[in-house]
Chain A
């Protein structure tokens, strides 16, 4: 290296500033010498990274799993049970037949102490709330603003009927879930609070306080629930909940809250109004009673995932350590360089 500079001029003649020198200016950017840290994934780093992940993840996993275990959840599928015996072969016909339907009675056993609030969910299956035709079939402006009442773009086919525009328009609103649940415990009515079940931002901003339903469910085909005409949309919380479309075809939506504790061994009578049609597409309907933890409802997935990842990391750390001890590779061993390995060596 040193000899190559011998031919260069001494610094003597280069030092005086030459006006039209094309010599590039020295900067660390152009010379690509920006300071940098150069992480090298040495076995030690790999092992300690694995250990670290293991150490962090396993406790989180345990905590999450405990949180999930704490949650008490009662699930009851009622879609086929609540069809009268003579209609079992033609459920769709039953559910679509006009007229009142007899209430359906279900009994739920509380297996564990449930602290209030106990959340009541309905869970639908095979219901594609995330279908493109479905998702876009609404008009947010109309929902929010009374002056945009006639703005029904995107709402087809449920945009208007013979009486005029529909508020709220669109398929989502039209197919509003309308099964009803009444709970009683020891012949005593359990009050279900149906307020505060939607996200506040939806209530306050997406659904107008002075927007009222209009011509809703008054066409030929009734899709689902009806709305009280004199209650503003921002207070129709079941609609608001319903209209926050779900991500997956199996989803839970909040129906209400029971604000009393339930003891272990309690028997709860549910009086079901079975009106909603999931029979056309073989969808299940489930009633869910659940408490929550800090992490939400009963979901072991997070905890298990954390434990799996953490455990895997521990395992890897261990096996890497073993390999490291049994068959170490000297770091920076020049014999590993491909041109030193010779053509024969792999």
Chain B
């Protein structure tokens, strides 16, 4: 807008410059940004089209018709097939499964992967086929669209019959259908009215904080501009006087110079100066930055081999290019658990039977600890190649019946039977070990049953009363027999009991209760005696827990038949009671679940994504705090926090949970208002207590690190405005925070709490639809791509395949981007300020008339051509330390968090040197040109002097760029050299040509006159050096006495070759032959990598070394050209040194 205004102004007679010179760069800049926007919009449009055009079967004229999602309307009857996603919120009418039941996976909504059951109303079961379904007539009355995922109330009115609807009949968009051939449903909400979409907040347009700070800088520049204009304008009002008769001020003077109206003169000169100084606002800054970021994201981030995931064939994807440098300043990461940190894969990993640990696996976390201690773990390459999903266990002592030879083989037998019998898993499919599939409420259970199968206790069939297990090697090696167990009672798992028991009768009549559950509850109920086993097993449990494994204790109890009978009566009574059935059942269960005999413990690995603990460790060393926000249970969440290194036993934990007795008691009373009030009080109390403690720890420095665990219900109240501040202070003091049982919206609220409350830069990472709102709420949203379910990726700004790539994304790309953008911005600021200030100083010597110092075209092309290219090169190629060093010294990242490179102090230093340099330019050039400048005695005019000054400015500003580079590639030389050459070419042409349409031949032949004098060369050497002297001293002193961290790291590794290459060697083996060759060539010693600029002249140099290594390198024309470049280089680099 501003530039438009200036362009308009420049078309008025008040302008000192020609309008065309203002309009051309402006339109150039606009054009470039227009093209970029159009390109990004087009890509977004394509994505939307892809989703909107997904096909779905809709009932039309008694047939199923395929129509795209976007044409779906409320009231349509749709058919969704197995594994398909629901296109809208549907009312389940009928399913191919008996009883109108269907299974859905809600991983996209809440991250839980266990299947959930939805049941259609009995009345609608029949509408399965098209001809039936088209008879369906009904009216659905329901609540307004809202964002609550777990509630739904409504009525279905059919033939004057009102049937109540519950969440049980609702299929939400984003879920997918499992284990059901197809279902038929009626569309209730579509598009933005669906609950998923209501949960996702409006897509905020994201701009990086750095850019916002940049706006402030621009505003400051505007302030400077107006101050300068004001000074100049007042000066002009004072200056103008009839005594300067040569200005012709006697009669008929236009307003701007009319000495009789000084006020008007001031006003109009203001406008003049506004256009004159307009160069202080860098017109091409935004465009340059956008261009740089665009290339950074499309070329660097998207194509980084380090972030390419081979298994899923997914490269990283930057969906927006706005936030690259934001990646370099992240302080808080909010991570989803399932699918992000973990693979959502439970694997039986270890066990402890009768006081003996089995299982040789090493968890990621153990590996991490060992690595930190410097112990090299023997690489267990041979993780039994054929291991099944859910079973990652290898121990010769137990497998293939070998357990029979163990000392405690009886315990082993009980252990395996417990695993095989005590569960609620449903077998599915063929009854052979290879093909069977288990349907379990949780993947843990399935993993345990699979483990039993692998140990030779193959559970293959379940009837309502029986469990069939095919047991191998029990009586003697190799013998296989099918054993039916009668299941008498199942005491189910719930979160208060934390255990599950099964009473079964052996074929031989033995009555056994098998029980598995959390160690705390099992240990309470163990029979007295055998303390040694208990102790050892407890130690094992702790060991497992510390390795990040999920543990369960197994126990059994032999029951006497009469005792069982009496208990069973009570149980049946409780089961048939109408009031408080749950509670009574629990009480009854309590009666029998005691006097247990401990068998052992299982350890299941909630399989983490590859490299997660290492990545988290690195990130926390980089000063980034990681919060886990998950829909999981509190125990699971804590467990994962342990597994990921987020928590350890040295940490002081604060747990704020709603699962306390006091709260439960109030909840049972059922008064909603009372519950709310009470929980709020509780939460407040807890928070206060924690904060007090925190304060204590804060006072003594060496206190332990703190961790906060809070669950969703408490969070709901803690996020209340009155408690929010407390929550924030508490959580900001904690090294890690785990929020469990949180809804998608709460995830977003927590994110924005930190974003807005603490004003820190936040990043959210997640993979499912339940993370969408969080991803959008954070400064940066990162989606995990490569798996099914694209919602998170669609909402994200960056998509990566694995959590561990976050390390590359932040520490390498983010840091570099931040560094580069900072440099680009400050450099832009500097070069424009310097340039404009020379103009400003000149104003003082022109009677404040607003006469331009430089020719119009110099002025407008300065930004667009003479100084723009090198800075883009800088923004693309500058790197302080190599990628591997960035990861090796994650602490370097802290410089970004502290925003070291774009503080006002940094800007002020640049500004200071800009003033200094402009003074040097102006005064050196003008003072030295006061006398004759050539031996012919002729003197210079205005345009000679200004061209001289402009040449100095262009040269200096470009060399200054080289001075601020950390690494100088040949592109830098091309850029800087090219810019200077471009200037000379331009001036040679511009001053050499005289056309008919020339406005004023100010510049005619000027450069030739200048270059004919010795003065030109003497000044050209003096002024840039004098101007850069200040900067050079500053840089030298700064580096010497107050070095930045990265500078020290540079120094430490200055003598090493670029070691990112050694790391890439791994990638080397994935290269195509052609790439491998170019890669191998890149490994060769190279003249350009040496600082001295030493150049080999032997033409066969490259091919010689290459052929030694068995690589054929074609001699290319550009090789020669490049070598030529290398030869001309030393001259440039020498100048830069000064």
Binding site for B on A (CB under 8 A): 1, 3-9, 11, 14-15, 17-18, 20-43, 45-46, 49, 52-53, 57, 60, 64, 117, 119, 121, 127-138, 140, 156-158, 171, 174-175, 197-199, 201-202, 205-206, 221, 223-224, 244-254, 257, 277, 280-282, 290, 292-299, 301-302, 305-306, 309, 312-313, 316, 320, 323, 329, 331-334, 336-339, 343
A5 and chain B: residue at smallest CB distance: B1066
Of residues 321 to 357 in B, which have CB atoms within 8 Å of A's CB atoms? none
CB-CB under 8 A for A247 and B243, given A36-B967, A53-B1025 = no
CB-CB under 8 A for A21 and B313, given A130-B851, A157-B252 = yes
Contact A252 B930 (CB under 8 A): yes
Please choose the segment from B277-285, B481-489, B828-836, B1081-1089 that sits at the chain A interface, where 4 or more of its residues have CB less than 8 A away: B1081-1089
Contact A36 B1025 (CB under 8 A): no
- A127–B1058 Cα distance when bound, in Å, is 62
Residues of B within 8 A of A197 (CB): 937-938
A223 and chain B: residue at smallest CB distance: B246
Contact A296 B968 (CB under 8 A): no
Contact A249 B1075 (CB under 8 A): no
A-B pairs with beta carbons under 8 Å apart, 19 shown: A1-B1063, A4-B611, A4-B614, A4-B804, A34-B877, A46-B1032, A49-B1137, A53-B1029, A57-B1025, A128-B849, A131-B847, A201-B1005, A201-B1009, A221-B250, A247-B929, A250-B930, A297-B932, A299-B931, A332-B1052
Please choose the segment from B84-92, B223-231, B296-304 that sits at the chain A interface, where 4 or more of its residues have CB less than 8 A away: B296-304
Binding site for A on B (CB under 8 A): 16, 241, 243-248, 250-254, 257, 272, 299-300, 302-305, 308, 310-311, 313-315, 367, 371, 379, 381, 610-611, 614, 701, 804, 816, 845-847, 849-851, 877, 879, 883-884, 889, 891, 894, 924, 926-942, 944-946, 965-972, 994, 998, 1000-1001, 1004-1005, 1008-1009, 1013-1015, 1018-1019, 1021-1022, 1025-1026, 1029, 1032-1033, 1035-1036, 1039-1041, 1043, 1045, 1047-1054, 1058, 1060-1061, 1063-1064, 1066-1067, 1069-1072, 1075, 1078-1079, 1082, 1086, 1088-1091, 1093, 1133, 1136-1138
- A134–B1061 Cα distance when bound, in Å, is 64
Contact B305 A246 (CB under 8 A): no
CB-CB under 8 A for A37 and B934, given A131-B851, A281-B243, A302-B928 = no
The residue that A133 contacts in the complex, of B247, B879, B939, with Cβ under 8 A, is: B247
Contact B303 A30 (CB under 8 A): yes
Residues of A within 8 A of B937 (CB): 117, 119, 197, 254, 257, 290, 292, 296-297
Q: Can you list the 6 inter-chain pairs with the closest CB atoms, starting with the nearest?
A: A297-B931, A332-B1051, A201-B1005, A297-B932, A24-B303, A332-B1052
CB-CB under 8 A for A305 and B928, given A17-B1072, A39-B968 = yes
Residues of A within 8 A of B248 (CB): 133, 137, 156-158, 171, 174, 223
- A282–B755 Cα distance when bound, in Å, is 65
Contact B1026 A298 (CB under 8 A): no
Residues of A within 8 A of B610 (CB): 4, 7
A144 and chain B: residue at smallest CB distance: B1001
Q: Which of B245, B252, B924, B1033 has the most CB of A within 10 A?
A: B245
CB-CB under 8 A for A296 and B846, given A201-B1008, A338-B1045 = no
Residues of A within 8 A of B1138 (CB): 49, 52-53
Contact B243 A132 (CB under 8 A): no
- A223–B1015 Cα distance when bound, in Å, is 34
The smallest beta-carbon distance between A343 and chain B, in angstroms, is 8
Residues of B within 8 A of A174 (CB): 246, 248
Residues of A within 8 A of B1008 (CB): 201
B948 and chain A: residue at smallest CB distance: A247
The smallest beta-carbon distance between A79 and chain B, in angstroms, is 15
Chain A interface, >50% SS class: loop
Contacts A14-B1069, A37-B1090 given; 18 further ones with Cβ under 8 A?
A: A4-B804, A23-B313, A25-B303, A32-B877, A33-B1058, A37-B1133, A130-B846, A140-B1000, A140-B1001, A157-B248, A223-B248, A247-B940, A247-B946, A248-B926, A282-B243, A302-B1022, A305-B1026, A309-B1025
Contact A132 B1025 (CB under 8 A): no
- A309–B1023 Cα distance when bound, in Å, is 10
- A240–B902 Cα distance when bound, in Å, is 52
The residue that B1082 contacts in the complex, of A33, A57, A136, with Cβ under 8 A, is: A33
Residues of B within 8 A of A27 (CB): 303, 1078
Contact B942 A246 (CB under 8 A): yes
The smallest beta-carbon distance between B998 and chain A, in angstroms, is 7
Residues of A within 8 A of B16 (CB): 132
The residue that A24 contacts in the complex, of B304, B944, B969, B1060, with Cβ under 8 A, is: B304
Contact B1005 A198 (CB under 8 A): no
The smallest beta-carbon distance between A143 and chain B, in angstroms, is 9
The smallest beta-carbon distance between A74 and chain B, in angstroms, is 13
The smallest beta-carbon distance between A166 and chain B, in angstroms, is 12
CB-CB under 8 A for A305 and B930, given A38-B1050, A140-B998, A221-B250 = no
Contact B849 A133 (CB under 8 A): yes
Residues of A within 8 A of B930 (CB): 248, 250-252, 299, 301
The residue that B1048 contacts in the complex, of A1, A28, A158, A336, with Cβ under 8 A, is: A336
Contact A198 B938 (CB under 8 A): yes
Contact A14 B1050 (CB under 8 A): no
Residues of B within 8 A of A323 (CB): 1040
CB-CB under 8 A for A331 and B1051, given A5-B1066, A223-B245 = yes
- A188–B303 Cα distance when bound, in Å, is 86
Q: Which of B1001, B1019, B1061 has the most CB of A within 10 A?
A: B1001
A49 and chain B: residue at smallest CB distance: B1137
Residues of A within 8 A of B1032 (CB): 46, 49
Contact A35 B1089 (CB under 8 A): yes
- A336–B1050 Cα distance when bound, in Å, is 13
- A323–B1036 Cα distance when bound, in Å, is 12
Residues of A within 8 A of B1090 (CB): 37
Contact A339 B894 (CB under 8 A): yes
- A247–B114 Cα distance when bound, in Å, is 82
Contact A244 B935 (CB under 8 A): no
Contact A41 B1036 (CB under 8 A): yes
- A24–B969 Cα distance when bound, in Å, is 23
Residues of A within 8 A of B933 (CB): 295-297
Residues of B within 8 A of A140 (CB): 998, 1000-1001
CB-CB under 8 A for A280 and B314, given A37-B967, A199-B1009, A296-B931 = no
- A235–B1093 Cα distance when bound, in Å, is 54
B962 and chain A: residue at smallest CB distance: A39
Residues of A within 8 A of B315 (CB): 22-24
CB-CB under 8 A for A128 and B251, given A36-B1089, A39-B968, A338-B894 = no
Contact A30 B938 (CB under 8 A): no
Contact A205 B313 (CB under 8 A): no
Residues of B within 8 A of A320 (CB): 1036, 1040
The residue that A42 contacts in the complex, of B883, B1001, B1014, B1051, with Cβ under 8 A, is: B1051
CB-CB under 8 A for A305 and B1079, given A281-B244, A332-B1054 = no
Residues of B within 8 A of A252 (CB): 930-932, 939
- A302–B1021 Cα distance when bound, in Å, is 11
CB-CB under 8 A for A46 and B849, given A23-B1070, A280-B243, A297-B931 = no
Residues of B within 8 A of A130 (CB): 845-846, 849, 851, 942
Contact A292 B1043 (CB under 8 A): no
- A46–B611 Cα distance when bound, in Å, is 43
Residues of B within 8 A of A37 (CB): 967-968, 1088-1091, 1093, 1133
Contact A247 B941 (CB under 8 A): yes
A252 and chain B: residue at smallest CB distance: B939
Contact A205 B932 (CB under 8 A): no
The smallest beta-carbon distance between A114 and chain B, in angstroms, is 13
Contact B1039 A299 (CB under 8 A): no
- A27–B313 Cα distance when bound, in Å, is 18
Residues of B within 8 A of A249 (CB): 845-847
The residue that B849 contacts in the complex, of A119, A131, A277, with Cβ under 8 A, is: A131
- A244–B947 Cα distance when bound, in Å, is 14
